[in-house]
């Protein structure tokens, strides 16, 4: 960790994030207000109006929480089916130069759910599975819409907190349209152009077949005329023959346009299987830096939006501070673990000088891999520029724990804020009593119904993660997907379901969720986990928004619980870490913690 | 009431509570408390393990017993809190035993019946020397009553039909005269009975915040049950066979048993602390609301100022002899038995040597009593012979002015100036007039209670605004408000204005507390979030409010708010402590569970507990004993300091949050050392 350049980049990252928060927050305030004014109005406003007219949306009509929820659910269901059918029948659709086949039902279901829920878990390899049409239409559309939905729900919750004795929390359709038209699309156009300037590709060409500069040989199993493997005399050992490789298939496609929204919308679904580790997706240190920054940009700005909307900017900054504190600690732990490397490799003299380089791009090195891994799991992004599976046990524990705390450290666009507000309400309820008043959050009394909704979210999330992990860990189908044995294999299962429920989408890559034998268990359980993690969280949150909106506001006084300042930051961090730790500590103990001690005792998995 | 200071460890209460703790193991009672129900089920399952577990018999037995003790300790905490409340209630109840009531039959004759048979609406006759048989309202007569049995105040009080002093409480003694009383409560429905049943827990309803907290605790329990159930397959995957005993031990350690076990004790103790201060609350909800109060409506007289204002000066109108003013003032005050009225008579005597005259001699006259509407009192002399009829009034400037002008008189500007001048000095101006002539002004001085200003400053630091309610004119009110340091005042207040003010404050989101005694206070008392009726007040007032102060001391409102806050702080502190405790318990139990199969994780045993079995047992024992250790805190309440919310949160978060993380590390280690010294495992 004695790398001044890395420290400088870290400081630069946090500094730029801080600088970006207010201006982007100010812009969000206008975007998330149906009557807001932005400098894009002259260009975008006509399209906005036209959209409302075509869809029959009355933009002046706000919805109550039930109306808002129904609109969101219907929209999600329709768009899920839309994607499902495109993926199933992509072989009959245009822009498929590689003639890729339609997806199996469970893979199409898993993928459609994955993109609808902003998870972008990928049971497939992009370049070998998806046509350009599927990538651009079926998937990218969700990158925009699921991100916009997340931001809309956060805005609805913030409105619920800010309003008093109100019946409505906004109009879902208006939020969706305005967020897409004024926020996501314009930024993505600029960002995609920037990415192209860095070398990210954008074309419709079929894959390029290239002669390799230096041919090499690999051992492959010998086959007879009928294509059956040939065995040695014992009838078991396959006979291997050398095969010379002198060509390489280089995939092409409309990458830049998808990568911009993949990062900005905290989607994370890579165009290529290697995700942001692929040079066509993430070619330069600058593109890497800005991709990381774009993950946190909107979530960070939303804290400012929160402060402005509830008329307590210091509260917005306190939430930001709690997030930033957990982020910095996460990066430092992960970086430290990776920089310390693997003692067994070191003992054997095989280790890279600067730490654990297994599964990392030499272009990015230890620090930028640890930073990216922390950011992508703090947020519900899930893009990766290094293989989390190959991290040291403690280095891998950080992303896992980040996801399990609910991805509230900046978090997914919108999802991070509304997830964090769940913890804020919880913290206020538990500790708020200690000032001698029944708990209140920004003037709203937190009562039995609110606690019920908050605890419902927490119960559903832990039930889903722990339940599926327990099932998979003792099932043949579960263990069959693993790439490693022992505690590391357990971490792969735990990570997969945490990632699915948390709508993150990254994986301990050793896991094979879409096995060649067509076993649908992993795809299906993960899809169900993603649906639960998204919608059983959103619905109670919208109910909370509706309930808070209807409450009276208690005026603040010296006796009011203060949701700002250092004490509150400490309390909030404590609540997030304690609730996360208390629920998942036993699972983490059986996984990465045991693995860490075993590694130091000389065992690898 | 004598049983005010019961020791925290009263022997008799302890004995009863111990027996009750076992009786409360009844699963039907445990159903009310999901956290303790899970613990009880866990204990039973562990006893079952005695016959099947591979672990040493002694270890499983000890775990099972300590789990059972965890439930019993929680029951004990509740029983002690109830016992203390009951002991206090018993002292009150003793006063009304074996009373005989003289009930009036429909034909007017009397019959002697047992007081416990009195029903609402019965009319009883009480004479000097009798005890009043039940709560009721005087409908005929006036008498002095000794209420020391209830209030501890030995000076007798006047109870009379009509007006604001008509309510009587069962068990108090009539010292003089006779009263006819209409009973207003059925047997077992009086305030006292209500209070007793509240502390006994039988009819105790959970307060809104308690319900919300129970939901939180139940949900946490659900999550931990999940965690433990999932741990079994996790172990199977890892090749570790977790024993049922160990899993149950971990479960009970993780679920919030500390707050779960003490929650109802905290609530009962809050009511009990009110009772110790002679305040009866009709519901736990009212106590909780008291903590939330952020506006106090305080009657000026008796709360902010000493009850009696003293006449200190006569300011005559131009052209009026001072002696004429003093004479008229004295005449108008002869029938005025208030301290102010008496002080006017005395001042006239001292300054002008005017003796109090016997006004029963002719000319015939009638006294005009003060009413809230006319806001004047005085005397009328009928015309006799050459003496013309005289009509003297004293009262608030505006009303006297209207009275004078209605008769065609003028109200001199000098008098108006004097009124304003007196008001500005915080005095009360009483204008005296006779017919069309305005005679002058009496300067009544108001004396603000010592220390009240500091008290209000403390309230302000807690975020509580004080509003002074007074019948004075705005100028007087402003001067006294400034002197006493209240935040706001309501001058020339009528009961309607009071009610309107409460509604306005509530509409702005505030929670309002007030005290009152008169029947006309009843609507405001009912509207207020915390309405404290004075015990001397009318029955209507007592029924409208949700608390009754037996001492009839309006300053008590401040203590009631503090008790409410203390209750909430205690609840929050122990919840935080209980959840924070889990960290250490994990560090004790998780390594112990895994070290058998993965010896490499020994460094995770940061407390260096001697063996896996002793580690788990220590955590279970700590978990049980901490309930006992915290009973005194739950009953006394967390110390409350008026230091403002931010400072209070910092302080309590440090003590109960940070302390909650650290203390169990120390406690579990100590118990582990002890267990191994005694070779218990």
8 Å CB contact of B233 and A570: no
At residue B184, the pLDDT reads 82
Select from B207, B213, B244, B265 the least CA-distant residue to B85: B265
Place of tokens 């319900």: B211
Cβ(B185)–Cβ(A424) below 8 Å? no
* Chain B residue with the nearest C-alpha to that of A494: B234
In a domain, A234, yes or no: yes
Task: Express each pLDDT in B303-362 by its tens digit.
Answer: 787 766 778 888 898 888 888 888 888 888 887 777 778 888 888 888 887 765 655 555
- B112 CB-near residues (< 8 Å, 6+ apart): B100, B101, B102, B103
Per-residue pLDDT at B669 exceeds 70: yes
Q: How far apart are CA B29 and CA B204, in angstroms?
A: 13
At residue B2, the pLDDT reads 38
Q: How far apart are CA A190 and CA A257, in angstroms?
A: 10
Select from B217, B633, B104 the least CA-distant residue to A448: B217
Q: Kindly list the residues from chain A whose CB atom is less than 8 angstroms away from the CB atom of residue B576.
A: 430-431, 434
8 Å CB contact of B569 and A455: no
Number of compact structural domains in chain A = 1
In a domain, A431, yes or no: no
Cβ(B576)–Cβ(B653) below 8 Å? yes
* Chain B residue with the nearest C-alpha to that of A464: B226
What are the Cα distances from residue A311, in Å, to A19, A545, B126, B663? 20, 17, 64, 39
Q: How far apart are CA B511 and CA B330, in angstroms?
A: 44
DSSP lists the bridge partners of residue B138 as B181
8 Å CB contact of A431 and B572: yes
At residue B426, the pLDDT reads 73
Q: How far apart are CA A235 and CA A227, in angstroms?
A: 16
**Residue-wise burial string across B241-263, b where 16 or more C-beta atoms lie within 10 A, e elsewhere:** ebbbbbbbbbbbbbbbbbbbbbb
8 Å CB contact of B294 and A559: yes
Cβ(B113)–Cβ(B100) below 8 Å? yes
Top pLDDT among B461 and A528 is at A528
At residue B3, the pLDDT reads 41
8 Å CB contact of A469 and B230: yes
Residue A228, domain extent: 208-250
- Give me the torsion for CA of B544, B547, B549, B553, rounded to 10°: -80
Task: Express each pLDDT in B512-541 by its tens digit.
Answer: 998 877 667 788 888 999 999 887 777 777
Top pLDDT among A180 and A355 is at A180
Per-residue pLDDT at A50 exceeds 90: yes
What average pLDDT does the segment B568-578 reach? 94
What average pLDDT does the segment B558-563 reach? 89
Chain CA centroid to CA A462, Å: 18
At residue B176, the pLDDT reads 79
In a domain, A222, yes or no: yes
Cβ(A338)–Cβ(A369) below 8 Å? yes
Please tell me whether the peptide bond between B363 and the residue prior to it is cis, using omega within 30 degrees of 0: yes
DSSP lists the bridge partners of residue A238 as A231
Cβ(B169)–Cβ(B541) below 8 Å? no
Whole-model pTM: value is 0.85
Going by pLDDT thresholds of 50, 70 and 90, the confidence category of residue A344 is confident
At residue B97, the pLDDT reads 58
What average pLDDT does the segment B402-407 reach? 89
Chain CA centroid to CA A530, Å: 12
Cβ(A190)–Cβ(A200) below 8 Å? no
Q: How far apart are CA B265 and CA B635, in angstroms?
A: 7
- Dihedral sign, Cα of residue A501, residue A505, residue A510, residue A515: positive
In a domain, A217, yes or no: yes
Q: How far apart are CA A241 and CA B70, in angstroms?
A: 70
Per-residue pLDDT at B371 exceeds 80: no
In a domain, A438, yes or no: no
What average pLDDT does the segment A285-296 reach? 96
Select from A296, A318, A298 the least CA-distant residue to A371: A296
Q: How far apart are CA A170 and CA A275, in angstroms?
A: 36
Per-residue pLDDT at A201 exceeds 70: yes
Cβ(B359)–Cβ(B377) below 8 Å? no
Percent of chain B with pLDDT strictly greater than 90: 33
Per-residue pLDDT at A69 exceeds 70: yes
- Dihedral sign, Cα of residue A361, residue A364, residue A370, residue A375: negative
What average pLDDT does the segment B365-383 reach? 80
Q: For residue A478, what are its two tokens?
A: 């579960």
In a domain, A221, yes or no: yes
- Identity of the residue in B230, B598, B656 whose CB atom sits nearest the CB atom of A594: B598
Give the 3-state secondary structure of residue B444. strand
**Residue-wise burial string across B105-136, b where 16 or more C-beta atoms lie within 10 A, e elsewhere:** eeeeeeeebebeebeeebbbbbeeebbbbbbb
Task: Express each pLDDT in B410-433 by its tens digit.
Answer: 888 888 898 888 878 777 788 999
Place of tokens 């030995």: B154
Going by pLDDT thresholds of 50, 70 and 90, the confidence category of residue A29 is very high
Place of tokens 């409480």: B169
Task: Express each pLDDT in B156-195 by its tens digit.
Answer: 777 887 777 788 877 778 887 888 888 887 766 666 666 6
Task: Express each pLDDT in B196-244 by its tens digit.
Answer: 666 665 556 788 999 999 999 999 999 999 999 999 999 999 988 999 9
DSSP lists the bridge partners of residue B110 as B104
Place of tokens 């995770």: B604
- Identity of the residue in B230, B604, B644 whose CB atom sits nearest the CB atom of A558: B644
Q: How far apart are CA A75 and CA A441, in angstroms?
A: 31
Select from B561, B525, B515 the least CA-distant residue to B273: B561
In a domain, A242, yes or no: yes
Place of tokens 């002046």: A60
In a domain, A238, yes or no: yes
Selected for mutation to probe chain A from B217, B593, B598, B634 (highest A CB count within 10 Å) is: B598
8 Å CB contact of B644 and A559: yes
| Integer Rg of chain A from CA | 24
Per-residue pLDDT at A217 exceeds 50: yes
Top pLDDT among B426 and A48 is at A48
Q: For residue A38, what are its two tokens?
A: 């932005």
Which of A432-441, B63-72, B425-434, B595-604 is predicted least confidently? B425-434
Q: Kindly list the residues from chain B whose CB atom is less than 8 angstroms away from the CB atom of residue A470.
A: 229-230, 232-234
Which of A339-348, B353-362, B571-580, B651-660 is predicted least confidently? B353-362
Task: Express each pLDDT in A219-235 by its tens digit.
Answer: 888 887 777 778 877 77
The complex's ipTM works out to 0.92
Cβ(B221)–Cβ(B256) below 8 Å? yes
Per-residue pLDDT at A325 exceeds 50: yes
Distance from CA of A598 to the nearest CA of B (A): 6
Select from B215, B561, B221, B528 the least CA-distant residue to A447: B215
* Chain B residue with the nearest C-alpha to that of A602: B600
What are the Cα distances from residue A266, in Å, to A285, A379, A381, A401? 19, 7, 4, 18
Selected for mutation to probe chain A from B222, B235, B463 (highest A CB count within 10 Å) is: B463
């Amino acid at each position: 960790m004695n790398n001044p350049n890395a420290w400088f980049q870290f400081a630069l990252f946090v500094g730029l994030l801080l600088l970006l928060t207010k201006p982007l927050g100010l812009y969000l305030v206008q975007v998330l207000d149906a009557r807001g004014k932005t400098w894009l109005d002259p260009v975008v406003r006509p399209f906005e109006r036209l959209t409302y007219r075509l869809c029959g949306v009355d933009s002046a009509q706000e919805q109550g929480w039930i109306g808002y929820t129904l609109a969101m659910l219907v929209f999600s269901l329709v768009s899920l089916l839309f994607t499902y059918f495109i993926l199933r029948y992509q072989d009959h659709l245009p822009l498929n130069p590689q003639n890729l086949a339609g997806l199996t039902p469970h893979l199409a279901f898993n993928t459609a759910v994955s993109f609808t829920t902003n998870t972008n878990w990928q049971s497939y390899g992009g370049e070998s599975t998806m046509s350009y049409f599927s990538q651009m239409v079926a998937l990218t559309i969700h990158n925009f819409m699921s991100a916009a939905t997340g931001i809309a729900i956060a805005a609805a919750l913030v409105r619920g907190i800010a309003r008093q004795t109100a019946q409505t929390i906004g109009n879902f359709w208006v939020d969706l349209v305005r967020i897409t038209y004024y926020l996501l699309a314009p930024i993505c156009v600029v960002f995609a152009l920037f990415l192209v300037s860095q070398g990210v590709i954008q074309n419709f060409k079929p894959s390029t077949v290239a002669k390799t500069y230096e041919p090499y040989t690999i051992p492959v199993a010998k086959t007879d005329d009928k294509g059956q493997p040939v065995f040695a005399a014992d009838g078991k050992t396959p006979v291997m023959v050398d095969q010379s490789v002198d060509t390489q298939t280089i995939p092409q496609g409309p990458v830049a346009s998808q990568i911009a929204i993949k990062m900005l919308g905290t989607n994370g679904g890579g165009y290529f299987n290697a995700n942001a580790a692929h040079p066509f997706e993430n070619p330069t240190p600058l593109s890497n830096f800005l991709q990381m920054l774009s993950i946190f940009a909107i979530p960070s700005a939303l804290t400012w939006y929160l402060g402005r909307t509830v008329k307590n900017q210091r509260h917005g900054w306190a939430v930001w501070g709690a997030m930033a504190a957990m982020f910095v600690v996460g990066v430092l732990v992960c970086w430290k673990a990776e920089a310390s490397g693997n003692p067994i490799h070191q003992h054997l003299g095989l280790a890279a000088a600067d730490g654990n380089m297994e599964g990392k791009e030499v272009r990015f090195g230890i620090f930028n891999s640890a930073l990216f891994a922390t950011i992508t799991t703090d947020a519900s992004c899930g893009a990766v520029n290094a293989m989390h599976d190959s991290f040291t046990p403690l280095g891998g524990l950080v992303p896992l724990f980040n996801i399990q705390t609910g991805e509230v450290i900046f978090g997914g666009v919108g999802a991070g804020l509304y997830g964090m507000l769940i913890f804020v309400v919880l913290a206020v309820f538990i500790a708020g009593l200690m000032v001698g008043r029944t708990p209140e959050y920004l003037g709203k009394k937190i009562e039995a119904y609110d606690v019920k909704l908050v605890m419902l979210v927490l119960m559903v999330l832990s039930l889903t993660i722990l339940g599926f992990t327990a099932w998979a860990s003792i099932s043949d189908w579960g263990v069959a997907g693993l790439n490693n044995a022992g505690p590391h294999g357990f971490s792969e299962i735990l990570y997969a379901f945490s990632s699915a429920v948390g709508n993150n989408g990254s994986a301990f890559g050793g896991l094979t969720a879409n096995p060649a034998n067509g076993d649908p268990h992993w795809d299906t359980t993960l899809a169900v986990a993603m649906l639960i993690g998204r919608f059983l969280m959103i619905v109670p949150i919208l109910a909370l928004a509706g309930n808070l909106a209807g409450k009276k506001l208690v005026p603040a006084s010296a006796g009011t619980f203060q949701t700002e300042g250092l004490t509150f930051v400490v309390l909030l961090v404590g609540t997030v870490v304690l609730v996360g730790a208390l629920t998942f500590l036993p699972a983490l103990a059986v996984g990465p913690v045991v693995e860490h001690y075993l590694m130091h005792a000389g065992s690898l998995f | 009431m004598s049983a005010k200071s019961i020791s925290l460890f009263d022997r008799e209460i302890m004995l009863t509570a111990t027996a009750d703790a076992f009786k409360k193991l009844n699963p039907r009672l445990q159903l009310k408390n999901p956290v303790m129900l899970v613990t009880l089920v866990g204990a039973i399952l562990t006893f079952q393990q005695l016959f099947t577990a591979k672990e040493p018999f002694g270890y499983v037995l000890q775990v099972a017993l300590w789990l059972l003790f965890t439930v019993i300790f929680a029951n004990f905490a509740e029983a002690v809190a109830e016992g203390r409340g009951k002991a206090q209630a018993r002292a009150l109840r003793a006063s009304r035993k074996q009373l005989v009531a003289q009930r009036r039959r429909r034909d007017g004759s009397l019959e002697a019946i047992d007081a416990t048979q009195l029903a609402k609406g019965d009319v009883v006759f009480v004479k000097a020397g009798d005890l009043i048989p039940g709560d009721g309202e005087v409908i005929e007569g006036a008498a002095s009553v000794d209420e020391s049995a209830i209030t501890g105040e030995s000076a007798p009080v006047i109870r009379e039909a009509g007006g604001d002093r008509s309510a009587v409480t069962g068990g108090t003694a009539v010292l003089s005269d006779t009263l006819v009383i209409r009973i207003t409560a059925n047997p077992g429905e009086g305030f006292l009975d209500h209070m007793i049943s509240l502390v006994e827990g039988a009819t105790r309803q959970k307060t809104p915040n308690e319900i919300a907290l129970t939901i939180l605790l139940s949900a946490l329990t659900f999550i931990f049950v999940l965690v433990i159930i999932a741990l079994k397959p996790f172990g199977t995957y890892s090749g570790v066979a977790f024993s049922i005993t160990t899993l149950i031990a971990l479960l009970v350690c993780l679920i919030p048993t500390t707050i779960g076990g003490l929650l109802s004790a905290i609530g009962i103790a809050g009511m009990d602390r009110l009772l110790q201060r002679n305040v009866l609350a009709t519901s736990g909800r009212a106590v909780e609301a008291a903590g939330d109060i952020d506006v106090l409506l305080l009657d000026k007289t008796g709360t902010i100022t000493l009850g009696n204002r003293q006449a200190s000066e006569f300011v005559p109108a131009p052209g009026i002899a001072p002696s004429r003013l003093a004479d008229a003032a004295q005449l108008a005050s002869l029938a005025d038995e208030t301290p102010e009225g008496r002080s006017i008579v005395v001042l006239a005597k001292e300054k002008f040597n005017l003796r109090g005259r016997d006004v029963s001699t002719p000319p015939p006259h009638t006294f005009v009593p003060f009413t809230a509407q006319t806001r004047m009192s005085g005397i009328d002399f009928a015309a006799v012979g050459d003496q013309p009829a005289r009509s003297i009034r004293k009262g608030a400037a505006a009303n006297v002015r209207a009275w004078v002008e209605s008769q065609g008189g003028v109200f001199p500007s000098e008098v108006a100036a004097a009124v304003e001048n007196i008001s500005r000095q915080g005095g009360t101006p009483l204008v005296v007039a006779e017919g069309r002539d305005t005679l002058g002004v009496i300067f009544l001085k108001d004396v603000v209670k010592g220390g009240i200003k500091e008290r209000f400053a403390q309230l302000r630091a807690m975020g509580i605004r004080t509003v002074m309610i007074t019948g004075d004119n705005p100028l007087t009110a402003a001067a006294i408000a400034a002197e006493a340091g209240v935040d706001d005042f309501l001058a020339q207040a009528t009961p309607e204005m009071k009610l309107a003010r409460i509604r306005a404050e509530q509409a702005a989101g505030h929670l309002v507390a007030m005290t009152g005694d008169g029947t006309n206070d009843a609507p405001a008392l009912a509207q207020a979030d915390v309405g404290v009726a004075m015990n001397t007040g009318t029955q209507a007032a007592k029924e409208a409010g949700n608390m009754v102060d037996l001492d009839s001391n309006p300053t008590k409102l401040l203590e009631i708010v503090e008790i409410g806050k203390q209750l909430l702080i205690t609840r929050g502190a122990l919840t935080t402590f209980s959840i924070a405790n889990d960290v250490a318990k994990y560090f004790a139990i998780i390594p112990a569970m895994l070290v058998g199969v993965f010896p490499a994780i020994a460094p995770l045993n940061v407390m260096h507990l001697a063996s896996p079995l002793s580690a788990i047992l220590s955590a279970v024992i700590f978990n049980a004993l901490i309930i006992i250790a915290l009973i005194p805190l739950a009953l006394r309440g967390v110390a409350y300091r008026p230091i403002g919310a931010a400072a209070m949160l910092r302080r309590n978060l440090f003590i109960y949050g940070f302390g909650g993380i650290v203390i169990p590390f120390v406690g579990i280690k100590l118990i582990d050392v002890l267990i191994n010294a005694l070779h218990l495992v």
